[in-house]
Amino acid sequence: MTEFYAIGIFLFVLFLLLGSGVWVGLALLGVAFVGMELFTTRPSGDAMMTTVWGASASWTLTALPLFIWMGEILFRTRLSEDMFRGLSPWMARLPGGLIHTNIVGCTVFAAVSGSSAATLTTVGKMSIPELRRRNYPENMVIGTLAGAATLGLMIPPSLTLIVYGVTINESITKLFMAGIVPGLVLALMFMTYVAVMSRVAADFNPTPEPHMTFADKVANSRFLIPVICLILLVIGSMYFGYATATEAAAFGVIGALVLAAVQGSLNWQTFIASLMGATRTSAMIALILGGAAFLSLSMGFTGLPRALAEWIGSMELSRFQLLMALLVFYIVIGCFLDGISSVVLTIAVVEPMVRQAGIDIIWFGIFIVVVVEMAQITPPIGFNLFVLQGMTHHQMNYIARAALPMFGIMVVMVFVLILFPDIATWLPENIRQRPGGG
């Protein structure tokens, strides 16, 4: 009974603080502090200092600000323009035409960014004007961009997977490898949707692209060389066991700086702007992680995670039933919290259930990222919707309706993962990882 009283107190204080506009990290610290004061005799201040420091002083976590910085540097280069010039000749003849540049462009940039918002902004600032000029349907331009940008959360380097791995003390490199194939499968599902809609939608009548010879297409592909080299440097160094995730992130920053310098985009102003942007984002995530670690400690004293795990176990749910319950749970919570906050806030309670059910913890990381991706395009807090609103000046309900088919495809992807778990587990089970690599 004490556990149910505790969860009521936790939820009341949490929604009170979040509803008052307090930062998510501070709200988590506040809830944990109240829990420590009410349910334990341990000094709250001492526990907070120790826990927050322990959560922050992680060598594995070093990869997070480095990958964020890499994405910030690339955001300030001409990468999106070069990607469009390199991809568009090959996409033009596919069913759906240049709409595919949204999806392929986001997939490529996701492999060097890790952030959904950075992927959306970088690709969108180039593709939206170009696709509008060619008379592509507005709802498909916006919908595919909103959905494909979420691939930044799955295809490595993924900030959400880094946070998940640090929270459950799992190898970041293995999680990165697990995200590659599902990310590509999801991108292929988006492209299939575009191809089908291009045949059945009455308003799909874009301006035809001028004919290009094969030699011209190959010549334009040279614009893709810098980003492909960067992807090989970051992902390849981890896949072949030459670098841990943290070391690969450092390589990525150096590569991004070189790329920006070669393009002429690197000057003192862009360097400082990228550094400060990465600092702000990293500090925000670190605060959320610190708050979540303190909240996990506080809940541990109440016995809440253990009690919930035992309660779920007593219901004797099958693995599929448990996953369906978690799917609905994360879709609902994703309507009110961003992806990283959803993960760190709930994982202390969810992890024991998942382990008890015998679900592979690496596979579950990919499952949870797909569901968290949905939160990026669901109102009222879907961050991608806000970014697109600022870029396109459409009403929020229009953008949400345009993104709805992408949401449905992600739901289908969840069932694909359940039916074919090997698409997430085969690579991490077969990679050659350096000893001690995180």
**Can you tell me whether residue 43 is helix, strand or coil?**
coil
pLDDT of 417: 93
Read off the pLDDT of residues 340-366 as tens digits, 9 standing for 90 and up: 777 877 787 788 888 888 889 999 999
Q: What is the DSSP letter of 58?
A: -
Look up residue 305 and give its two tokens: 């995670």
The pLDDT of 235-260, averaged and rounded, is 83
Read off the pLDDT of residues 291-334 as tens digits, 9 standing for 90 and up: 777 877 777 676 666 666 566 667 777 888 888 888 888 887 77
Round to whole Å and give the CA distance between 179 and 176: 5
Say whether pLDDT at 232 is over 50: yes
Q: Chain-wide mean pLDDT for the chain? A: 81
Choose the most confident range, by mean pLDDT, from 1-10, 19-28, 79-88, 89-98.
89-98
pTM of the predicted protein model: 0.77
pLDDT of 312: 65
Q: How confident is the model at residue 40 (pLDDT cuts 50, 70, 90)?
A: confident
pLDDT of 363: 94
pLDDT of 364: 93
pLDDT of 196: 92
How far from 265 is each of 166, 192, 261, CA to CA, in Å?
A: 34, 35, 6
Share of the chain above pLDDT 70, in %: 90
- What is the CA angle 341-182-221, rounded to 5? 110
The pLDDT of 10-17, averaged and rounded, is 76
Q: Going along 98-203, which residue ranges are E strands?
A: none
Read off the pLDDT of residues 177-199 as tens digits, 9 standing for 90 and up: 898 899 999 999 999 999 999 88
pLDDT of 436: 47
Q: How confident is the model at residue 380 (pLDDT cuts 50, 70, 90)?
A: low
